[in-house]
């Protein structure tokens, strides 16, 4: 297995992985938006491949120079529970650490106990608050 930066040609595979994980959003995860992310920061999307087949993805979103967020961590169904997400998170933490980031965080579904256990097992702390995401579409 190999972890590398996302390429525009990866789009259809990433979209499939996100859909399998019920994470896909047609705006956030549009081909144009992902291209814009990597144009600004080539390491903002990382993928894991098994031979030439994409099997996992993670987005890294900067919030200033010292804080980044993990967003859209997803693994293809048949590859789950094999340590791939852990390796991808560890790789992402190394990438961010080398850039001088001192804290990485994420928002998660407060009712998803399996997700909470996954991150807690990897030494992530929690605020113990339930969060919801609010948004407004801007007119073009």
What is the pLDDT confidence band of residue 55, given thresholds at 50, 70 and 90? very high
Share of the chain above pLDDT 70, in %: 98
What integer is the mean pLDDT of 39-52? 95
Q: How far apart are CA 118 and CA 84, in angstroms?
A: 12
- The pLDDT, as a whole number, for residue 140 is 62
Residues forming a β-bridge with 103: 67
Q: Which tokens sit at 71?
A: 């967003």
Mean pLDDT value across the chain? 90
- The pLDDT, as a whole number, for residue 11 is 98
Q: Which residue has the higher pLDDT, 43 or 126?
A: 43
Q: How far apart are CA 66 and CA 75, in angstroms?
A: 27
Domains of the chain: 2-121 (3.40.630.30)
What integer is the mean pLDDT of 121-139? 75
Q: What is the pTM of this model?
A: 0.86
Q: How far apart are CA 19 and CA 21, in angstroms?
A: 5
């Amino acid at each position: 297995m190999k972890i590398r930066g996302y390429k525009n040609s990866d789009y259809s595979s990433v979209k499939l992985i996100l859909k399998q994980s019920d994470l896909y959003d047609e705006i956030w995860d549009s081909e144009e938006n992902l291209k814009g992310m990597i144009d600004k920061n080539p390491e903002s999307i990382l993928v894991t491949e098994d031979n030439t087949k994409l099997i996992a993805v993670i987005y890294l979103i900067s919030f200033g120079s010292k804080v980044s967020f993990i967003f859209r961590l997803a693994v293809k169904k048949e590859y789950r529970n094999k340590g791939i997400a852990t390796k991808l998170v560890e790789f992402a933490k190394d990438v961010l650490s080398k850039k001088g980031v001192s804290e990485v965080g994420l928002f998660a579904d407060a009712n998803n106990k399996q997700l909470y256990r996954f991150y807690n097992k990897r030494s992530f702390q929690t605020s113990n608050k339930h969060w919801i995401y609010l948004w407004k579409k801007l007119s073009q």
